[in-house]
């Protein structure tokens, strides 16, 4: 009976993966499907192989970086379980943005017995550093080609100008005041009603979240964390740079152009789940800066990265379940819990 349920799990998540692939392509227009398949026909697949390898390496490095963040909490999850959880989370993110963060924390909570709220705190650290790296890439890219990119940046960020700067500052100020007010009110409620069970549980969750967040302060292996962060973003950059050579239309582009694509096309991954539609369009707009009117490259890179995530993610989840089948699992702890 145990084997039956294990097989049923595999079949269920395999069906989800197939459905996800169908959903991704169902969202494409006829023209977008044509462009995607044309890019596959034109591509030099010998150059796609190193792109796939670098993509996998970046995911492995991300898992190892996450492990470095978790260890100050007093836990030492296996690198393999951490990697499988990360990849499983990526699959969830392609379907529902930010769901992957909750899923990978839930999986480590189940198989490594690490509290959910502390894991979520480490995710905040990860996202914060990735944001810093992204901003640095954008700044460096603009500095290296200020004359060429400045006009494009002005058009995309035209909201920040003398005419309507005040309209931007006022909402930001209001939001900041509201956030400060909510934090102050929350602290007051938690302190005043600490004896109530639900309030105590919420307080425990926030405390655990803070413990996870402050791991960066007590981080022992800071060099390793910085090295992995640098490596991850270097792999992102090189994937685009080498990917240029896979198509004749983009083969003449260099590392600076790759930085431009990474800088501005990354926003496409935020706009829509898995960057579907938005990422290839953003890549096309960036390439126009360099007088390259090509829509195939964006679809090629997006297609390869999405395929890697879906295939590797499903396989990772299956291995994670199978590898830990004889270990004592714990039911995933609720997001709000006492510590």
pLDDT in tens, 67-101: 988 888 888 899 999 999 999 998 888 777 677 88
For residues 61 and 231, is the Cβ–Cβ distance under 8 A? yes
Query: What tokens were used for 167?
Result: 């309209």
DSSP string over 261-284: HHHHHHHHHHHSGGGTTHHHHHHH
In a domain, 335, yes or no: no
Q: Encode pLDDT of 243-301 as tens digits.
A: 998 888 888 998 988 988 888 877 767 666 666 667 777 888 888 888 887 777 888 88
- The answer to whether 297 and 243 have CB atoms below 8 angstroms apart is yes
Per the domain annotation, does 333 fall within a domain?
A: no
**Angle between helix 278-289 and helix 296-323 axes, rounded to 10 deg:** 140
Has residue 181 been placed in a domain?
A: yes
Task: Judge whether 330 lies within some domain.
Answer: no
pLDDT (0 to 100) of residue 75: 86
Mean pLDDT of the 200-219 span: 54
Residue 257 lies in a domain: yes
What mean pLDDT comes out for the span 14-23?
58
3-state secondary structure of 171: helix
Distance CA 198, CA 237 (A): 46
Percentage of the residues of the chain whose pLDDT score is greater than 70 = 61
Domain count, the chain: 1
User: Which domain, by its residues, includes 274?
Assistant: 2-323
How would you class 121 by CB atoms within 10 Å of its CB: exposed for 0-12, middle for 13-18, buried for 19 or more? buried
Q: What is the pTM of this model?
A: 0.70
Instruction: Give me the DSSP letters along 89-100.
Output: HHHHHHHSTTHH
């Amino acid at each position: 009976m145990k084997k039956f349920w294990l097989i049923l799990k595999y079949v269920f998540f395999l069906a989800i993966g197939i459905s996800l692939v169908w959903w991704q392509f169902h969202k494409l227009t006829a023209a977008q499907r044509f462009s995607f398949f044309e890019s596959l026909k034109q591509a030099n697949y010998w150059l796609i192989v190193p792109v796939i390898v670098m993509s996998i390496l970046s995911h492995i490095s991300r898992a190892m970086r996450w492990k470095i963040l978790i260890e100050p909490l007093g836990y030492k999850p296996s690198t393999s379980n951490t990697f499988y959880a990360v990849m499983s989370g990526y699959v969830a993110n392609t379907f529902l943005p930010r769901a992957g963060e909750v899923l990978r924390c839930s999986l480590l909570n189940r198989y490594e017995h690490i509290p959910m709220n502390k894991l979520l705190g480490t995710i905040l650290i990860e996202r914060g550093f990735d944001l810093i790296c992204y901003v640095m890439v954008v700044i460096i890219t603009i500095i290296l080609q200020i004359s060429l990119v400045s006009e494009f940046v002005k058009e995309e960020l035209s909201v920040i100008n003398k005419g309507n700067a005040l309209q931007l500052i006022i909402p930001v100020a209001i939001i900041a005041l509201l956030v400060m007010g909510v934090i102050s009110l929350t602290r007051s409620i938690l302190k005043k009603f600490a004896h109530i069970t639900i309030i105590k549980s919420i307080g425990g969750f926030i405390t655990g979240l803070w413990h996870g967040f402050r791991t960066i302060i007590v981080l022992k292996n800071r060099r390793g964390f910085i090295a992995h962060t640098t490596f991850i973003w270097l792999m992102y950059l090189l994937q685009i740079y080498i990917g240029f050579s896979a198509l004749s239309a983009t083969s003449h582009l260099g590392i600076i152009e790759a930085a431009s694509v990474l800088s501005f096309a990354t926003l496409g991954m935020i706009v829509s789940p898995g960057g579907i539609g938005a990422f290839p369009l953003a890549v096309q707009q960036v390439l126009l800066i360099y007088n390259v009117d090509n829509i195939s490259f964006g679809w090629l890179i997006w297609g390869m990265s999405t395929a890697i995530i879906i295939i590797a993610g499903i396989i990772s989840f299956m291995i994670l379940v199978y590898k830990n089948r004889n270990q004592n699992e714990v039911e995933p702890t609720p997001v709000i819990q006492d510590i």
